[in-house]
Amino acid sequence: MKLRSIFMTSTILVCFAAGAARAGEIKVTYPSEGDLLPSVKNTFIFGNIKPPTAPFYINGTKINVYRNGGFIAYLPVSEGNFVFKCELLNGATTTYSRRIKIRTSPQSVISTGSLRLEFISPSSDLDISPGDNIEVQAAGTPGRAAAFTIKNVAPDVEMKELPRGSGRYFGVYRVKDSDEADKAELSVKFKTGLFASGAHAMSKGHISILRSPVIVETSTDTVILRNGIDSGYMMFLPKGVKMVSDGRSGSNRRIRLSSSETGWVDDSKVEIAADTAFAPQNETGTIRLKKTETGTTASITMQYPAAYAAEERENSLRLTLYYTKLHSNYVVYDSSDTFVRQVRFSQIAENTVAVDFELMPGSELGGYDVISGTRALNVELKKMPVVSGVWPKPLAGLRVVLDPGHSPKLVQPYDGAIGPMGTFEYQVNRVTADKLKDALASLGATVFMTRYGDENVQLTDRPKIAKDYKGDIYISLHNNAIGDGEDPFSQPRGFAVYHYQRHSYGLARAVHRSYVKNIPLPDEGLRFGDYAVARMTSMPAVLVESAYMIMPEQEEMLNTPAFQAKLAETIAAGVLDFFKVRPRPTPSGAEHVIRKPDTKPKPVSRIAPVVRASNKKSGALPAKKVKK
Report angle CA 137, 143, 148 to the nearest 5 degrees.
35
Each residue's pLDDT tens digit, 259-296: 899 999 999 999 998 876 666 789 999 999 999 999 99
Query: Residue 72, Cα to own-chain centre: how many angstroms?
Result: 26
pLDDT for 278 equals 65
Could you tell me which residues come within 8 angstroms of residue 338 by beta carbon, excluding any fewer than 6 positions away?
A: 291, 360
**Alpha carbons 541 and 402: distance in angstroms, whole number:** 10
**Alpha carbons 357 and 377: distance in angstroms, whole number:** 14
CATH topology of domain 117-209: Immunoglobulin-like (2.60.40)
The domain ranges of the chain are 13-102, 117-209, 214-272, 282-383, 399-578
Q: Are 298 and 288 in contact (CB under 8 A)?
A: yes
Neighbours of 200 (CB within 10 A): 12
Helix (H) or strand (E) segment spanning residue 244:
strand 242-249
pLDDT for 277 equals 60
Domains 282-383 and 399-578 share a fold: no
pLDDT for 195 equals 52
pTM: 0.84
pLDDT for 13 equals 42
**DSSP code of 418?**
B
Could you tell me which residues come within 8 angstroms of residue 18 by beta carbon, excluding any fewer than 6 positions away?
A: none
Could you tell me which residues come within 8 angstroms of residue 626 by beta carbon, excluding any fewer than 6 positions away?
A: 10, 11, 12, 422
Query: CATH homologous superfamily for 13-102?
Result: Immunoglobulins (2.60.40.10)
**DSSP code of 621?**
P
Exposed e or buried b for every residue in 265-275, given b needs 16+ CB within 10 A? Answer: beeebbeebee
Neighbours of 43 (CB within 10 A): 24
The CATH number fitting domain 214-272, selected from 3.40.47.10, 2.60.40.10, 2.30.30.40, 1.10.3720.10? 2.30.30.40
Low-confidence ranges of the chain (pLDDT < 70): 1-22, 105-113, 193-197, 276-279, 410-414, 588-628
Class of domain 282-383: mainly beta
Q: Can you name the residues that pair with 201 across neighbouring β-strands?
A: 188
Return the CATH architecture of domain 399-578.
3-Layer(aba) Sandwich (3.40)
